[in-house]
Structure 1
Protein backbone atom coordinates (compact mmCIF):
# COMPACT_ATOMS: atom_id res chain seq x y z
CA UNK A 1 0.00 0.00 0.00
CA UNK A 2 1.52 3.31 -1.01
CA UNK A 3 1.06 6.80 0.41
CA UNK A 4 -1.81 7.83 -1.88
CA UNK A 5 -3.77 4.60 -1.36
CA UNK A 6 -3.25 4.90 2.41
CA UNK A 7 -4.44 8.49 2.42
CA UNK A 8 -7.55 7.63 0.39
CA UNK A 9 -8.41 4.62 2.56
CA UNK A 10 -8.03 6.63 5.77
CA UNK A 11 -10.16 9.51 4.50
CA UNK A 12 -12.88 7.11 3.31
CA UNK A 13 -13.67 6.24 6.92
CA UNK A 14 -16.90 7.90 8.13
CA UNK A 15 -16.52 11.34 9.72
CA UNK A 16 -12.73 11.29 9.29
CA UNK A 17 -10.66 14.43 8.82
CA UNK A 18 -6.96 15.02 8.28
CA UNK A 19 -5.35 17.51 10.65
CA UNK A 20 -1.79 18.78 11.24
CA UNK A 21 -1.41 19.40 15.01
CA UNK A 22 2.24 18.27 14.94
CA UNK A 23 3.26 20.37 11.92
CA UNK A 24 3.01 20.06 8.15
CA UNK A 25 5.08 16.85 8.04
CA UNK A 26 2.66 14.67 10.02
CA UNK A 27 -0.86 13.98 8.82
CA UNK A 28 -3.16 13.08 11.72
CA UNK A 29 -6.39 11.26 10.93
CA UNK A 30 -9.22 11.78 13.39
CA UNK A 31 -12.75 10.53 13.75
CA UNK A 32 -14.92 12.98 15.70
CA UNK A 33 -11.76 14.65 17.01
CA UNK A 34 -10.08 11.41 18.18
CA UNK A 35 -6.83 10.31 16.53
CA UNK A 36 -6.74 6.82 14.99
CA UNK A 37 -3.81 7.17 12.57
CA UNK A 38 -0.85 9.28 11.56
CA UNK A 39 0.96 9.30 8.23
CA UNK A 40 4.40 10.78 7.63
CA UNK A 41 7.57 10.34 5.60
CA UNK A 42 10.47 8.63 7.39
CA UNK A 43 13.71 10.55 7.23
CA UNK A 44 15.89 7.82 8.75
CA UNK A 45 16.94 9.82 11.81
CA UNK A 46 13.98 8.76 13.96
CA UNK A 47 15.38 7.82 17.36
CA UNK A 48 15.07 4.15 18.26
CA UNK A 49 14.07 2.94 14.78
CA UNK A 50 17.58 2.02 13.56
CA UNK A 51 16.87 3.90 10.33
CA UNK A 52 14.11 1.44 9.31
CA UNK A 53 11.79 4.29 8.36
CA UNK A 54 14.26 5.99 5.98
CA UNK A 55 12.73 6.79 2.61
CA UNK A 56 9.33 5.26 3.30
CA UNK A 57 5.98 6.61 4.39
CA UNK A 58 5.04 5.34 7.83
CA UNK A 59 1.69 5.04 9.52
CA UNK A 60 0.95 4.90 13.25
CA UNK A 61 -2.12 2.84 14.10
CA UNK A 62 -3.81 2.02 17.39
CA UNK A 63 -3.87 -1.67 18.30
CA UNK A 64 -4.75 -3.82 21.29
CA UNK A 65 -1.53 -4.75 23.14
CA UNK A 66 -1.59 -8.50 22.39
CA UNK A 67 -2.19 -8.01 18.68
CA UNK A 68 0.44 -5.25 18.54
CA UNK A 69 3.11 -7.70 19.71
CA UNK A 70 1.89 -10.42 17.37
CA UNK A 71 2.02 -8.11 14.33
CA UNK A 72 5.57 -7.04 15.24
CA UNK A 73 6.59 -10.72 15.33
CA UNK A 74 4.99 -11.48 11.96
CA UNK A 75 6.01 -8.40 9.97
CA UNK A 76 9.51 -6.85 10.16
CA UNK A 77 7.95 -3.60 8.87
CA UNK A 78 5.73 -3.28 11.96
CA UNK A 79 7.58 -1.70 14.86
CA UNK A 80 6.54 -0.21 18.22
CA UNK A 81 4.68 3.06 17.72
CA UNK A 82 7.14 5.87 17.04
CA UNK A 83 6.42 8.76 19.45
CA UNK A 84 3.36 6.88 20.73
CA UNK A 85 2.39 4.56 23.59
CA UNK A 86 4.32 1.51 22.41
CA UNK A 87 1.92 -0.93 24.06
CA UNK A 88 -1.10 0.37 22.15
CA UNK A 89 0.32 1.76 18.91
CA UNK A 90 2.32 0.28 16.04
CA UNK A 91 4.24 2.02 13.30
CA UNK A 92 3.73 0.39 9.91
CA UNK A 93 6.51 1.09 7.42
CA UNK A 94 4.92 1.25 3.97
CA UNK A 95 7.78 -0.48 2.15
CA UNK A 96 5.59 -2.85 0.14
CA UNK A 97 6.30 -5.91 2.30
CA UNK A 98 2.86 -6.05 3.96
CA UNK A 99 -0.15 -7.01 1.80
CA UNK A 100 -2.58 -4.16 1.20
CA UNK A 101 -5.46 -6.15 2.67
CA UNK A 102 -3.55 -6.59 5.93
CA UNK A 103 -2.80 -2.87 6.17
CA UNK A 104 -6.48 -2.11 5.50
CA UNK A 105 -7.43 -4.56 8.28
CA UNK A 106 -5.04 -2.78 10.67
CA UNK A 107 -6.54 0.60 9.72
CA UNK A 108 -10.07 -0.75 10.23
CA UNK A 109 -9.06 -2.14 13.62
CA UNK A 110 -7.52 1.17 14.73
CA UNK A 111 -10.60 3.08 13.63
CA UNK A 112 -12.96 0.72 15.46
CA UNK A 113 -10.86 0.75 18.65
CA UNK A 114 -11.19 4.53 18.78
CA UNK A 115 -14.90 4.50 17.90
CA UNK A 116 -15.57 1.87 20.60
CA UNK A 117 -14.46 4.36 23.28
CA UNK A 118 -16.93 7.03 22.15
CA UNK A 119 -20.39 7.71 23.51
CA UNK A 120 -23.19 5.50 22.20
CA UNK A 121 -24.62 8.46 20.30
CA UNK A 122 -21.32 9.16 18.53
CA UNK A 123 -20.79 5.45 17.84
CA UNK A 124 -24.21 5.15 16.23
CA UNK A 125 -23.65 8.22 14.03
CA UNK A 126 -20.49 6.57 12.67
CA UNK A 127 -21.55 2.92 12.52
CA UNK A 128 -24.62 3.73 10.43
CA UNK A 129 -22.19 4.55 7.57
CA UNK A 130 -20.30 1.25 7.72
Structure 2
Protein backbone atom coordinates (compact mmCIF):
# COMPACT_ATOMS: atom_id res chain seq x y z
CA UNK A 1 0.00 0.00 0.00
CA UNK A 2 1.20 3.49 -0.72
CA UNK A 3 1.36 5.96 2.13
CA UNK A 4 1.35 9.67 1.70
CA UNK A 5 4.37 11.64 2.81
CA UNK A 6 2.60 14.82 3.67
CA UNK A 7 1.77 15.72 7.21
CA UNK A 8 -1.99 15.83 6.75
CA UNK A 9 -2.77 12.80 8.77
CA UNK A 10 -0.51 10.06 7.50
CA UNK A 11 -3.33 7.82 6.18
CA UNK A 12 -3.24 5.60 3.10
CA UNK A 13 -3.39 7.16 -0.41
CA UNK A 14 -6.66 6.67 -2.29
CA UNK A 15 -5.18 7.28 -5.80
CA UNK A 16 -4.28 4.34 -8.06
CA UNK A 17 -0.84 4.33 -9.59
CA UNK A 18 -1.43 3.69 -13.34
CA UNK A 19 2.20 3.87 -14.46
CA UNK A 20 2.83 0.10 -14.14
CA UNK A 21 -0.47 -0.61 -15.93
CA UNK A 22 0.53 1.63 -18.86
CA UNK A 23 3.95 -0.03 -19.02
CA UNK A 24 2.41 -3.50 -19.20
CA UNK A 25 -0.09 -2.40 -21.86
CA UNK A 26 2.66 -0.89 -24.03
CA UNK A 27 4.76 -4.06 -23.77
CA UNK A 28 1.74 -6.19 -24.77
CA UNK A 29 0.99 -3.86 -27.68
CA UNK A 30 4.56 -4.21 -28.98
CA UNK A 31 4.45 -8.00 -28.60
CA UNK A 32 1.18 -8.26 -30.53
CA UNK A 33 2.45 -5.89 -33.25
CA UNK A 34 5.48 -8.11 -33.78
CA UNK A 35 3.74 -11.51 -33.60
CA UNK A 36 0.54 -10.69 -35.54
CA UNK A 37 2.16 -10.81 -39.02
CA UNK A 38 3.84 -14.10 -38.12
CA UNK A 39 0.52 -15.74 -37.20
CA UNK A 40 -1.00 -15.45 -40.68
CA UNK A 41 0.03 -18.64 -42.45
CA UNK A 42 0.06 -18.42 -46.18
CA UNK A 43 -0.75 -21.87 -47.50
CA UNK A 44 -0.82 -22.23 -51.26
CA UNK A 45 -4.05 -23.85 -52.36
CA UNK A 46 -4.93 -24.56 -55.96
CA UNK A 47 -8.58 -23.51 -56.28
CA UNK A 48 -10.73 -25.08 -58.98
CA UNK A 49 -11.58 -22.95 -61.98
CA UNK A 50 -15.23 -22.15 -62.50
CA UNK A 51 -16.72 -22.89 -65.87
CA UNK A 52 -19.60 -20.83 -67.07
CA UNK A 53 -20.98 -23.36 -69.49
CA UNK A 54 -24.72 -23.29 -69.18
CA UNK A 55 -26.67 -26.40 -69.85
CA UNK A 56 -29.60 -25.81 -72.12
CA UNK A 57 -32.80 -25.63 -70.11
CA UNK A 58 -35.51 -27.72 -71.68
CA UNK A 59 -38.91 -26.17 -71.18
CA UNK A 60 -41.49 -28.90 -70.83
CA UNK A 61 -45.08 -27.72 -70.97
CA UNK A 62 -47.22 -29.00 -68.10
CA UNK A 63 -49.85 -31.65 -68.70
CA UNK A 64 -53.34 -30.62 -67.70
CA UNK A 65 -55.83 -33.16 -66.38
CA UNK A 66 -59.31 -31.64 -66.35
CA UNK A 67 -62.16 -33.15 -64.35
CA UNK A 68 -65.77 -32.14 -64.92
CA UNK A 69 -68.53 -32.15 -62.33
CA UNK A 70 -69.84 -35.44 -63.75
CA UNK A 71 -66.46 -37.11 -63.31
CA UNK A 72 -65.31 -37.08 -66.96
CA UNK A 73 -61.54 -36.84 -67.29
CA UNK A 74 -59.59 -34.97 -69.99
CA UNK A 75 -55.87 -35.22 -70.77
CA UNK A 76 -54.84 -31.90 -72.36
CA UNK A 77 -58.46 -31.37 -73.49
CA UNK A 78 -58.72 -34.91 -74.90
CA UNK A 79 -61.28 -37.20 -73.27
CA UNK A 80 -59.71 -40.27 -71.64
CA UNK A 81 -60.98 -43.20 -69.63
CA UNK A 82 -59.56 -44.24 -66.28
CA UNK A 83 -57.41 -46.99 -67.84
CA UNK A 84 -56.08 -44.65 -70.53
CA UNK A 85 -55.25 -42.09 -67.84
CA UNK A 86 -53.25 -44.62 -65.82
CA UNK A 87 -51.38 -45.77 -68.94
CA UNK A 88 -50.49 -42.20 -69.93
CA UNK A 89 -49.38 -41.40 -66.40
CA UNK A 90 -47.09 -44.46 -66.40
CA UNK A 91 -45.51 -43.33 -69.69
CA UNK A 92 -45.18 -39.74 -68.45
CA UNK A 93 -43.47 -40.88 -65.24
CA UNK A 94 -40.71 -42.53 -67.31
CA UNK A 95 -39.82 -39.31 -69.16
CA UNK A 96 -36.76 -37.36 -68.06
CA UNK A 97 -37.26 -34.68 -66.89
CA UNK A 98 -40.78 -35.28 -65.70
CA UNK A 99 -43.37 -32.70 -66.71
CA UNK A 100 -45.63 -31.12 -64.14
CA UNK A 101 -49.19 -32.40 -63.90
CA UNK A 102 -51.79 -29.67 -63.39
CA UNK A 103 -55.18 -30.83 -62.14
CA UNK A 104 -58.09 -28.56 -63.06
CA UNK A 105 -61.57 -29.37 -61.76
CA UNK A 106 -65.00 -27.75 -61.67
CA UNK A 107 -65.89 -26.06 -58.41
CA UNK A 108 -68.73 -28.54 -57.78
CA UNK A 109 -66.70 -31.68 -58.54
CA UNK A 110 -66.74 -34.14 -55.67
CA UNK A 111 -63.51 -34.27 -53.77
CA UNK A 112 -63.51 -38.06 -53.93
CA UNK A 113 -63.01 -37.95 -57.71
CA UNK A 114 -60.15 -35.46 -57.44
CA UNK A 115 -58.57 -37.54 -54.67
CA UNK A 116 -58.65 -40.68 -56.88
CA UNK A 117 -56.90 -38.80 -59.72
CA UNK A 118 -54.23 -37.46 -57.36
CA UNK A 119 -53.65 -40.97 -56.01
CA UNK A 120 -53.27 -42.30 -59.57
CA UNK A 121 -50.68 -39.60 -60.29
CA UNK A 122 -48.77 -40.41 -57.09
CA UNK A 123 -48.89 -44.17 -57.76
CA UNK A 124 -47.43 -43.56 -61.23
CA UNK A 125 -44.43 -41.88 -59.59
CA UNK A 126 -44.86 -38.31 -60.78
CA UNK A 127 -43.41 -35.83 -58.30
CA UNK A 128 -44.70 -32.47 -59.54
CA UNK A 129 -48.45 -32.08 -59.10
CA UNK A 130 -50.31 -28.78 -59.05
CA UNK A 131 -53.88 -27.56 -58.85
CA UNK A 132 -55.25 -24.88 -61.17
CA UNK A 133 -57.78 -22.43 -59.80
CA UNK A 134 -59.09 -19.00 -60.64
CA UNK A 135 -57.67 -16.08 -58.70
CA UNK A 136 -59.72 -14.73 -55.83
CA UNK A 137 -61.42 -11.40 -56.53
Which bracket does the TM-score occupy, shorter chain normalised? under 0.3
Please give the TM-score of this superposition, normalised by the length of structure 2: 0.24
Q: Which has the higher strand share?
A: 1
Q: Which has the higher contact order (CA 8 A, sep 6+)?
A: 1
Higher CA-based Rg: 2
TM-score, normalising length from structure 1?
A: 0.25
